[in-house]
Amino acid sequence: MTIISRMLLLWLLPAILLGSETEARASQGLHVQLPHGGWLIGRHRTTHNGRHMRAFMGVPYALPPLGELRFRPPIAQPGWQGERLAVKDAPICMQRDPFRRDMLIEGSEDCLYLNVYTPDPVPAKLLPVMVWFHGGGWQCGSGISSFYGPDFLLDHNIVLVSANFRLGPLGFLSTETLDCPGNNGLKDQLQVLRWIRDNVAAFGGDPESVTVFGESAGGASVTYHMLSEQSRGLLHRGIAQSGTYYNPWAQPAHKNVAAARAEKLTKLVDCHEAGDNWAAKLQCLRSKPADQIVATLYDMFLWDFDPMIPFPPVIEPEHDGAFLTVLPREAPAPHGQQLPLMLGVTSEEGLLKTAALLNLPQLMAEFKSGFGQLLPVVLNYDHHGEETQQQITQHIESFYFKAGHNYDKSNHQNLTDLISDGWFVAGVDEYLQMRLADKQPSVAATYVYLFDHKGAASFSEIFKGERNEFYGACHAEELQYLFPIGRELFVSAVPTRQDLQLRELMLRLWVNFASSGDPNPVPGNLPSWLPATSYPVDYARLGTKLDLDKDSEDSVDLLRMEAALLQPRVDFWRQLKAHLPAQQRTHKHSEL
């Protein structure tokens, strides 16, 4: 054998061995045959606590929405022959993330994939399924990123499914006509639920025990699926974290708003010459690069990154396959009334906005000087007449800013409470009013929480708050106790003893609820989490803001039952709606 031959053999040998080793390690448990006949080959992983699990990653649930399929509902993946490797995440859906305040466009238009995680080995009895729909305002984020990994949840006996769905204009553009009715991102989620119904039993999951949970826009998505008749029977429990369809940013766009934004998009990418011919304009839009379409998102904002969600869900014209044809406030009692629900907020949701205001001086200066003109845009009441807008602003100022606009880093609670309430708390409260107003026996149990914890790290850092400064329990704060987000976002933060205890508590609460519709029982001497049966609501306060020394033997209850969730503040918003002029108060499309 020549020197060159020996060198070539030495170079090839590791690859040869790796190939045979990979073949050998694809154990029988990592081969799953789906009902259509094709096979998936997954990978072995371990949880945070070292438990074995199976991961099937990058599984297509719909055809790639490319070319002629752009701006159309998803088409189910018909299947494949033979084996398909499912060992790594698929690309995220193409997006531009305004919360990062940068110009980056990332992801792929070919993104309709999901991940399935199961214990290894899978118990003989079918396991409850938890389906995660991510937040990000239906414009950014990904369900199958490592942020939302299975490392914590798969220490428990569940099957976890997480998925991508189309975002921004690619997912929610609507002409308000049958040319492009809209809501394709929600229809992607619907297709995920149909895929689970048809396939999850092959992974050891129970298609008759599906809990959909999500945060922010993901939480609002949960309530939309509890409303849409298209989703009836596909989910059996819901967990809506910091979002419902009554939140102003989540409500369907007012008539003609979605079409006007679609028209603006056509002008931005030179597809507007066809006049009123939407079919021709959409054909032009389908010919444009996807990143050119996504780039227009920032042109839809009126100030800073407001209105927060330029492409929200819409009311569709009646047609086969429509997801939403009636305004939520005008709809009959939703089928979700019959499903157990867990619902809650964090104590300082508004830091999503105010963290940047407090730390970007120019932004704060603009906000203070233009308060009367900007607040209606920020809080989504700029659709009212100018006089009504002024009245609403005056009521808000008299309630939240009795001492004037003197807020800063050390004095921001009222400002943060205002954004918390206007964006999140009032909408969640209205959903609770609707749900609990129906006292029929068919209304299932409702468990309400307030996440109120000071951890080693805070999401306010992500939204431009300073590190090492605690402003409160920010929007999305609870996610780091359900998913291994801190591993990537908060690499320098060391969890406190209370953090670790709260994580174990919340995981058990969420998994218990997904298993039975009841978060109890939880080991230990904690009080029971009682369901809310009337309004005002009983709720569980989760976490603590007490600073306990790590070596201290003192303990604090991390679940405490309380009554009347943020009642003086939600009462203000109820009264504010009542004070609107009669013709606008009866306009059920109004956010206020």
Catalytic residues: 216, 349
Nearest CA to 297 out of 476, 106, 149 is that of 106
The H or E element that residue 435 is part of is helix 426-437
Residue 26 zone, left/alpha/beta (φ > 0; ψ -120 to 50; rest): beta
Measure the CA–CA gap between 302 and 199, rounded to whole angstroms.
44
Measure the CA–CA gap between 367 and 196, rounded to whole angstroms.
46
Cβ atoms of residues 280 and 286 within 8 Å: no
Measure the CA–CA gap between 176 and 174, rounded to whole angstroms.
5
Return phi, psi of residue 210, to 5°.
Answer: -115, 120
Cβ atoms of residues 174 and 180 within 8 Å: yes
Cβ atoms of residues 464 and 359 within 8 Å: yes
Measure the CA–CA gap between 560 and 529, rounded to whole angstroms.
8
Cα atoms in the 13 Å half-sphere on the side-chain side of 17: 6
Give me Rg for the CA atoms of the chain: 25
Give the number of other CB atoms < 10 A from CB of residue 428: 28
Question: Which token pair is 176?
Answer: 């308000």
Three-class DSSP labels, 180-191: CCCCHHHHHHHH
Q: Token match 């519709």: residue?
A: 517
Give the number of other CB atoms < 10 A from CB of residue 6: 10
Indicate the DSSP class of residue 124.
Answer: S
Q: Token match 């507007």: residue?
A: 272
Residue 226, amino acid: M
Residue 457, amino acid: A
Measure the CA–CA gap between 289 and 107, rounded to whole angstroms.
13
E-assigned strands of 61-158? 83-85, 95-96, 105-106, 113-119, 127-133
Question: Which token pair is 94?
Answer: 């193409």
Cβ atoms of residues 408 and 354 within 8 Å: no
Measure the CA–CA gap between 413 and 245, rounded to whole angstroms.
26
Question: Which token pair is 85?
Answer: 């490797």
Cβ atoms of residues 467 and 513 within 8 Å: no
Cβ atoms of residues 65 and 166 within 8 Å: yes
The H or E element that residue 241 is part of is strand 237-241
Question: Which token pair is 39?
Answer: 């096979």
Measure the CA–CA gap between 587 and 387, rounded to whole angstroms.
16
